[in-house]
Structure formats: structure tokens, C-alpha cells
């Protein structure tokens, strides 16, 4: 059916367009409608010129020198206010990802103590490798004893007051020395986050440069600390991903099945939901209710987690969560933390869908709260799945509208899987880069944002990169977007440049490698560090670049900061709230090059953004003489 220009301008994804049309028919509100009601958005806020840190305000600085206030009530200038707002976003993002890592450490601790309700240590090889990094004895010891020592060691990273974050020493020595020289080598994860909150309190740190350096320091504690811990411990507990086939988009929902969506970020919950859905008693109960079976699918980063380990289909990315409910075919939307819209509560009431929250950290209006804990994990997961099964009888089949759109994809390229695909060594990759068959490597990540046509920024930028022989690694909502576009299949190499196409065909891999959820950007850093170490250079010397074409969250601000702090030039596709300060803008886009060897660029046109990344890679290749 033809759709209005308004709908066509909201997304490039056909399933999303169909569901937006369905929402319009049913007079249901989505994020796009709420965005349009918000226009015009506050110009001061978009420039980062608002301050609410104390109750003398809120204060706002005029971007025009000849009119309006140029200082807040306390005397803070635009530079100070913008810098404080920016690093508070970094603190929020680092706290979110690092708390995810803390929860995984807690689960490992309980598992090693024999107190968890169904978890086990699945990757003993990785367990031993991590133990060696922490100088933990492994010879002649059980996996539980090693796991207990490892859990206590990574736990200590959060509250550490002095020293350094252990996984940061995976970075090349030149990078570590640079961090030390700049004063941004992080001590403990929580300490750096707390220090941001202290420094940005009224009357503390009012030097924009000093503030931003603390922001970079905290982001490194996230990327090489909290996020890396989340990734590594997930692999120990649930298995290190290897390439597996999966499917993506809203068509993975099934008409005759109990449909359960696992949405959020932490695999501690979703792993058990997947296991519980295979319980024979629950499957029989579903059939007794008239269903053909139980269909678990993922959404957002939880989708990435369970897809790369089990091949579970992914229903969609961030801006598709409401649309999944509007299909009328979802018995339960099960959520934990991060990127979950509170609008889901009201929306689920328009259908039979149970909106089930599970984390004590995240409760939502209109949700049924079924609190999850690791000690009784399987028991609680079965109760949650049972609630969904019982709800199947309440489905109104006349309201069901599932778009048929699905795409096959290959997911699960952990760092270990990439080395395995290369024959056990990085040499084939290094040779391909040196020969020019692969121009460089790009890490393209991040969210969806209603300010950009859904998925267009992700898909067009990645297409342009692979056309120019750039091997793309991806995580998070970008991974889901490009999977829907068919770019995560070996046959997608037909869209790549001749050099990259030859490498992909020889290895049987896609030109875009799925590396996991948003915390798994630490995998990309690990690969970059390994390549830099193999070549005897710093990460900033490599022909690599990052991009976040549709970013929107505080986590993305922390991610971008630690990627740049690691020496990787990064292009942002939506404009950060810093343009109200020429000084902060200058630091982020130019001066950072002198401090950490990389900087940000902002380019809303995805083709031009890819062009900036390619030009950067060309310059780095020339400097390396390759």
C-alpha cells in the first residue's frame, strides 16, 4: 500500500514503514509523533547552553554576544556550562555500561560460589586467559575456584582508588604512556565517575579543558574497564560468540506462536529467558493454549547478545520497540535496563501485551514488575515465560498485523572468532591492509535518533565504506540496521570494492562483521590494539576510524570519548550539544589531536561522513608508507 510522504521520510526500513502506517490507522502515538510535537526544540538546549546544576537557575547563556546573558548567576561562562554538561553525559554513559559490567561480575561470583540459579562457566579457555591477565594461579585448580578469584579481581576494579584499570594495559605501550602524560590514565571505574559529579558541582572545577580531560579519563575507565569487563565475563559465562546465522526485522514475530520479546541490554536475564522458553512443560502449556510453540526474539542490544550466542532472531532496533507492540502479536515485552521507552506502558494497554520489568534499577509506568535475581534465575525466568504463555489466549487476532519483512544475517564475530576466521593469526588481515586490498577498518556503532530518517544514516554510511574497500565492524543498533539491509551476509561482498570483495570471498565472511552489543565495542578496541602491537605502532597510527551515524544516548557520548581517547578518529552523524561553546567545539574537533592523537568530526550527511573516514585512512596509510 502507498504511504504518506511523512511516513516515508521517517524510515528507510520497509517493515518500519508498514508499522508506522498501521499505527496511523489505529491512531497510536510513536516516538516520531512525540518528536514532531516537540518542534521547535529549545535552541539553547541544542547548543548545550542551559545549566540546572544549582537552584539559583536554571541559567541559559545567549549565543549572541550583543544580546542576552553571557554568564550564569554564579559567573559560569558558556565554555564552562557546555563542558560540564558534556562530561556529565559521559558520567551517565560510563555509569550505565560499567554497572552492566558490575552485574556480570556479580553473576560470575555467585556462579563460582555455587549460589546462582542455573548459570555455569561455559568458556574455560577464556576464563584461564583472563585469570593470567590478573596473575591468578590456574594450574590444578577448578574452574569455580579460578572464577571466584577472577570475580573478586574484576569487582575490585570498580572501587579501586589508585593504580590502573587492568584491561587498559591491553592498549599499546605508546597509548598507555600518552594517557599517563596527559593525566587521563584511569584509576578505578567508580572513582572517575564520582569525580566528574564532584567536579561539576557548583563552585568546583571551572576550567573547560580540565573538565574535558576528566571526561576522557572517565570514558577510558568505561571502554577499557567496565564495558570490557561486561564483554569478557559474558563470554566466560555464556560462551564466546562464533559466527552463526540468524534473522532480523519485525517479520520474525510469528502468527501462531507465543511471541516473547527480550529487550534491554543485560544477557543475565535474556540467557535464562531463552533457556526457559525451551522447557518442555512450558512448550506443552503453550500448545494447550492453542499456540504452535514459543518464539523468543530480541530487541536492541539484548537482541544482539542472544542472537550471537544462539542464533535467536532480532525483531528490531531502538526505534522499532513500539512498532513491535503495534503488531498486536506480542504476548510479553520483557525488559531489564537501558534504552527502554517509558511510552511502552501506555502502548501495551492498547493491546493484550504484558509489559514486564525485571530490574530493581528500572521500573516503568504500566509495567508488571517481576523482579529477577541470579540466585533464582531459572525459576523466575520460567514464571515470566509462563505469564506470556497464559496471555496467548488474550490475543485479539483481528488486531494482528505482522509485516513479512525479514533478512538473513551472519552474526557473532568476536575478536577470537575473527582470528579463527583468519586461520589463527592476524597476518592475513595485516597483509590485506598492507597490500591495499583492505583500505582500513571502520567501527560503526550507535543508536537510532528520530532526528534522522530511521536507519538511513547507518546503512548509507556503511555501504559507502565497503564500496571503498573498508572492512566494517559493527555493534548495537547500527548492527541491526545494516543486517536488515542485507549487508551482514557473505554474498553482500558483491557490494564491496574489488579488494575487500576478494578478501571476503576467500574467507567466507561478510564485508560487515557483527561484533555484538554496545558494550562489545571493547572487542573492536581489542582488535585495534592487537593490530597496532603487531605493527609496532600506536592505535592512532592505524588506518582506522569510528562513526556513530544516529547516536542519541549518554552511553554513546562515553563510547565516542573512549574511542577518540584510544586514538581513533570518529564521525558523529547527529550534532552534539556543545556548539554553544567555540572553545569546547575546538577542543573536541581539533585540539584533541594534539592530546590523544584523534578527534571528532560532525557530519550529518552519511556519504560525506564516510568520505571523511576514508580520507583519514588514506592519510594514515601514507604516513605508514603502505
Annotated binding site: 42, 50-51, 54, 59, 74, 265, 301, 339, 447, 477, 518
- Return d(Cα 70, Cα 64) in angstroms, integer: 8
Residue 312 backbone dihedrals phi, psi, to 5 degrees: -65, 135
E strand or H helix at 194: helix 189-199
Residue 189 backbone dihedrals phi, psi, to 5 degrees: -65, -55
Are 229 and 300 contacting, i.e. CB atoms less than 8 angstroms apart?
no
E strand or H helix at 18: helix 14-25
Binding-site residues for [4Fe-4S] cluster, in ranges, read 42, 50-51, 54, 59, 74
Write out the three cell numbers for 93.
Answer: 554513559
- Return d(Cα 109, Cα 158) in angstroms, integer: 15
Angstrom CA distances, 283 to 200, 216, 253, 624, stand at 53, 49, 17, 58
Q: Which residues contact 428 (CB under 8 A, 6 or more apart)?
A: 422, 503, 507
What would the 3-class secondary structure string for 309-324 be?
Answer: HHCCCEEECHHHHHHH
Residue 436 backbone dihedrals phi, psi, to 5 degrees: 95, -5
- Return d(Cα 369, Cα 367) in angstroms, integer: 6
∠ CA 254-258-261 to the nearest 5 degrees? 80
- Return d(Cα 299, Cα 307) in angstroms, integer: 10
Give, rounded to a whole angstrom, the gap between the first and last alpha carbons of the chain: 52
DSSP state of 362: B
- Return d(Cα 205, Cα 294) in angstroms, integer: 55
E strand or H helix at 512: strand 512-514
Write out the three cell numbers for 408.
Answer: 538473513
State whether the Cα torsion 463-464-465-466 is positive or negative. positive
Binding-site residues for [Ni-4Fe-4S] cluster, in ranges, read 265, 301, 339, 447, 477, 518
- Return d(Cα 100, Cα 95) in angstroms, integer: 8
Amino acid at each position: 500500500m502507498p504511504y504518506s510522504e511523512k511516513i516515508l521520510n521517517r524510515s528507510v526500513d520497509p517493515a518500519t514503514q508498514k508499522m508506522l502506517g498501521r499505527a496511523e490507522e489505529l491512531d497510536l502515538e510513536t516516538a516520531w509523533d512525540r518528536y514532531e510535537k516537540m518542534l521547535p526544540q529549545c535552541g539553547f538546549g541544542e547548543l548545550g547552553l542551559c545549566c540546572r546544576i544549582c537552584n539559583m537557575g536554571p541559567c541559559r547563556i545567549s549565543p549572541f554576544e550583543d544580546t542576552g546573558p553571557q554568564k550564569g548567576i554564579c559567573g559560569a561562562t558558556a565554555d564552562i556550562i557546555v563542558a560540564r554538561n558534556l562530561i556529565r553525559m559521559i558520567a551517565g554513559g560510563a555509569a550505565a555500561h560499567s554497572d552492566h559490567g558490575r552485574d556480570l561480575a556479580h553473576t560470575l561470583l555467585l556462579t563460582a560460589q555455587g549460589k546462582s540459579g542455573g548459570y555455569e562457566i561455559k568458556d574455560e579457555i577464556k576464563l584461564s586467559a583472563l585469570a593470567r591477565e590478573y596473575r591468578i594461579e590456574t594450574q590444578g585448580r577448578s574452574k569455580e575456584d579460578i572464577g571466584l578469584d577472577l570475580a573478586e579481581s574484576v569487582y575490585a576494579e570498580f572501587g579501586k582508588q589508585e593504580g590502573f584499570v587492568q584491561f587498559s594495559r591491553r592498549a599499546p605501550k605508546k597509548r598507555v604512556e600518552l594517557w599517563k602524560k596527559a593525566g587521563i590514565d584511569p584509576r578505578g571505574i567508580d572513582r572517575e565517575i564520582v569525580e566528574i559529579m564532584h567536579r561539576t558541582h557548583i563552585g568546583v572545577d571551572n576550567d573547560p579543558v580540565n573538565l574535558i580531560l576528566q571526561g576522557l579519563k572517565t570514558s577510558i575507565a568505561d571502554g577499557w574497564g567496565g564495558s570490557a569487563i561486561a564483554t569478557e565475563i559474558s563470554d566466560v559465562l555464556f560462551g564466546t560468540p562464533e559466527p552463526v546465522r540468524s534473522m532480523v526485522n519485525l517479520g520474525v514475530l510469528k502468527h501462531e506462536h507465543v511471541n516473547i520479546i527480550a529487550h534491554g541490554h543485560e544477557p543475565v536475564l535474556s540467557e535464562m529467558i531463552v533457556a526457559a522458553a525451551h522447557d518442555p512443560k512450558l512448550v506443552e502449556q503453550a500448545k494447550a493454549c492453542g499456540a504452535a510453540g514459543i518464539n523468543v526474539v530480541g530487541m536492541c542490544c539484548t537482541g544482539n547478545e542472544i542472537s550471537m550466542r544462539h542464533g535467536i532472531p532480532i525483531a528490531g532496533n531502538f526505534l522499532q520497540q513500539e512498532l513491535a507492540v503495534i503488531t498486536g502479536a506480542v504476548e510479553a515485552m520483557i525488559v531489564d535496563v537501558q534504552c527502554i521507552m517509558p511510552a511502552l506502558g501506555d502502548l501495551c494497554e492498547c493491546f493484550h501485551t504484558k509489559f514486564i520489568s525485571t530490574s530493581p534499577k528500572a521500573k516503568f509506568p504500566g509495567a508488571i514488575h517481576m523482579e529477577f535475581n541470579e540466585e533464582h534465575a531459572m525459576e523466575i525466568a520460567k514464571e515470566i515465560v509462563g505469564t506470556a504463555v497464559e496471555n496467548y489466549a488474550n490475543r485479539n487476532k483481528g488486531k494482528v498485523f505482522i509485516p513479512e519483512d525479514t533478512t538473513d544475517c551472519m552474526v557473532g564475530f568476536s575478536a577470537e572468532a575473527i582470528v579463527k576466521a583468519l586461520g589463527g593469526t592476524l597476518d592475513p588481515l595485516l597483509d590485506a591492509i598492507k597490500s591495499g586490498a583492505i583500505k582500513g577498518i571502520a567501527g560503526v556503532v550507535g543508536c537510532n535518533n528520530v532526528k534522522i530518517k530511521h536507519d538511513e544514516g547507518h546503512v548509507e554510511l556503511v555501504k559507502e565504506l565497503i564500496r571503498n574497500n573498508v572492512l566494517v565492524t559493527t555493534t548495537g543498533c547500527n548492527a541491526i540496521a545494516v543486517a536488515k539491509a542485507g549487508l551482514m551476509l557473505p554474498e553482500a561482498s558483491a557490494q564491496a570494492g574489488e579488494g575487500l570483495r576478494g578478501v571476503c570471498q576467500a574467507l567466507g565472511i561478510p564485508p560487515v562483521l557483527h561484533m555484538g552489543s554496545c558494550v562489545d565495542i571493547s572487542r573492536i578496541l581489542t582488535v585495534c590494539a592487537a593490530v597496532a602491537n603487531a605493527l609496532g605502532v600506536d592505535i592512532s597510527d592505524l588506518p582506522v576510524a569510528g562513526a556513530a551515524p544516529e547516536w542519541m544516548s549518554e552511553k554513546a557520548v562515553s563510547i565516542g570519548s573512549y574511542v577518540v581517547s584510544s586514538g581513533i578518529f570518529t564521525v558523529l552523524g547527529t550534532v552534539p550539544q556543545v556548539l554553544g561553546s567555540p572553545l569546547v567545539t575546538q577542543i573536541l574537533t581539533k585540539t584533541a589531536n594534539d592530546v590523544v592523537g584523534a578527534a571528532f568530526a560532525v557530519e550529518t550527511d552519511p556519504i560525506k561522513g564516510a568520505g571523511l573516514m576514508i580520507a583519514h585512512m588514506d592519510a594514515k596509510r601514507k604516513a605508514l608508507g603502505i
